[in-house]
Amino acid sequence: MEQLQGASRFNRKAIKVEEAQRRILHACVSGRVEHIPIGQASGRRLAASLTATSDWPPFARSGLDGYAVFSADTGSASPSQPVELDVVDQVAAGGQAKRPVQSGTAVRIMTGAMVPEGADAIIMLEQTFELERDGAARVGIKQPAAAGQNVARAGQEFRKGDAIAASGELLRPGHIALFATFGYETVPVYASPRVGIMSTGTELLPIGAELAPGLIRDSNSVMIAALVREAGGEPYSLGRITDDLTAVREAMLQAAVEYDLLLTTGGVSVGDYDVMAAFMRELGQDDQEDRGNQSDGGQDRVGSGAGSGLLTSRSQSGDGSSGEIGNADRLSAENEARRNAVPGSTTLLFSKVAMRPGSPTSAATLLGKPLIALSGNPGACYVGFELFARPVIKRLQGVGVEQALPQVTTATLTADFEKGSPHERFVRTRLFIKDGVQFADPLAFNKSSMMASLPESDGFIRIPPGSSGATSGSLVEVMVLRDYT
């Protein structure tokens, strides 16, 4: 097998986690938008601000069952000396009173009904009693009413043109009620990002295959697919790409045309055959050359010079289909990619992060689409996804940059933790609350290659850079992965 990396593999410059997050999030373009029925919109992110199409309420409405009155008539009312008024009409929700309220009269009214002309207050039914005098219906009022009492004024909540929901808001059932109120049958939302997932490595076997010496089953790609789905994306398993730079170039180009985000696992370290590391380095070289050639009308080399190659499978996660990418599809993808390519749309963002595990994690934009190359070690792959991929998936769904970053809390450490490198460290932990205090309990099997503690992990303890770790009883920062209560 041809060696893919030379001495330059050791010259990758590590950047801080926050800087890596900043670069990848600011490189994301707005997500795709789709219009869906409001009944399907809860839990999605709104893609455009919506406004009230009328005043709301559109007319003065009664807040409860009772009597519509002229408040000045009730000023002397008391349980011992009630005020009596003639009942001249009654109105239900959806109807209108046929007669106005004048001094000395009242209209029986139901919740939500339009307040009759002349009335400025509603007396609740419980503060009244019915009677009849000379064959005419009357009502006794036992409490005085203030002007505006129990009346929802026209336009009290919204005026026509007022914002009812802003772009990027997470839609809840209350939003759905507002949209229906103002006549929005469909609403624009950010589409679930289509995430293409590829794994590298000749040592990988399909999940159902028998183990063989030197070979392991591909667990990372299905783990990533589950994480993508949990984050609101649509995972598509694009299979395994061989440790061949030409094949990787081809696969990445095709995938960048079709998917909103590309995730790879494996092949990012300093090994002789780490193909994603070689590909990322090539992107960096291409980007530098493109920057130098922009004034001459230079074009992305990745967009115009991809070699031939194929993916071993190409299917949506879980659908079981597979197939080789044909030459016709390849040429079509290349042509579309060339049309969409613009100077600067392919850029290496970073090729190393000052953290453990997952320091070789790399990111780029390929034809304007974010590409994140995650470690092949499952623990490091998990950390890299939570730090970089999940925020990007949120960002593509309309979440703001700051809001897309992982949720952070603090907890009291239950045991000493020593670290063997000066880099920032992310330690899998169990979180629990005792006597009102939140604790972080570091889990065993915390090495980047180990998986046993992944299902129990509620978060990652963030140990700052430096030679020392953290001591039992100290307050530590924890990146929360899920609700553990």
Distance (Å, rounded) from C-alpha 147 to C-alpha 317? 63
Q: Is the peptide bond before 357 cis (omega within 30 degrees of 0)?
A: yes
Residue 367 gets the label, from left (phi > 0), alpha (psi -120 to 50) or beta, of: left
Please give the average per-residue pLDDT across 349-357, as a whole number.
93
Between CA 27 and CA 29 the distance in angstroms is 6
Average pLDDT of the segment spanning 150-174? 96
Mean pLDDT of the chain: 85
Q: Residue 55 — pLDDT band, cuts 50, 70, 90?
A: very high
DSSP 273-304: T-HHHHHHHHHHHHHHHHHHHGGGT---HHHH
Contacts of 320 (CB under 8 A, 6+ apart): none
pLDDT category at 2 given cuts 50, 70, 90 is low
pLDDT in tens, 232-273: 999 999 988 777 788 888 889 999 999 999 999 987 765 555
Q: Which domains does the chain have, with CATH numbers?
A: 7-32+191-404 (3.40.980.10), 35-54+171-190 (no CATH), 61-152 (2.170.190.11), 408-480 (2.40.340.10)
Question: Could you read off the pLDDT of 68-103 as tens digits, one per residue?
Answer: 999 999 999 999 999 999 999 999 999 999 999 999
Q: How far apart are CA 346 and CA 369, in angstroms?
A: 8
Which spans in 12-87 are helix H?
Answer: 17-26
Q: Residue 207 has what pLDDT?
A: 83
pLDDT for the residue numbered 340: 42
Poorest-pLDDT segment among 52-56, 155-159, 254-258, 336-340: 336-340
- What does 393-450 look like in DSSP terms, one character per residue? HHHHTT--HHHHSPPEEEEEESS-B--SSSSEEEEEEEEEEETTEEEEEE-S--STT-
Whether 375 has a pLDDT exceeding 70, the answer reads: yes
Task: Convert the pLDDT of each residue in 273-309 to its tens digit.
Answer: 578 888 888 887 755 555 555 444 433 333 333 333 3
Between 19 and 296, name the one with better pLDDT.
19
- What is the tens place of the pLDDT at every residue in 113-127? 999 999 999 999 999
- The residue with greater pLDDT, 24 or 11, is 24
Which residue type occupies 371?
L
Q: What percent of the chain has pLDDT over 70?
A: 84
Residue 314 confidence class, pLDDT cut points 50, 70, 90: very low
**What letter represents residue 35's amino acid?**
H
How far is Cα 224 from Cα 376, in angstroms, rounded to an integer? 11
Tens digits of residue pLDDT in 316-336: 444 433 333 344 444 444 444
pLDDT for residue 422: 83
With both helix axes pointing from N to C terminus, report the angle between 327-340 and 245-258 in degrees, rounded to the nearest 10: 70
104: left (phi over 0), alpha (psi -120 to 50) or beta: left
pLDDT exceeds 60 at position 482? yes
Q: Is the pLDDT of residue 407 over 80?
A: yes
Model-level pTM?
Answer: 0.78
Cα 307–Cα 309–Cα 310 angle in degrees, nearest 5:
150
pLDDT of res. 241: 79
More confidently predicted of 450 and 53? 53
Can you tell me the mean pLDDT for 123-143? 94
Residue 352 in tokens: 């190393």
Q: Which residue has the higher pLDDT, 66 or 294?
A: 66
175: closest CA among 44, 53, 15?
A: 44
424-471 pLDDT, tens digit per residue, is 999 999 999 999 999 999 998 877 877 888 888 999 999 999 888 899
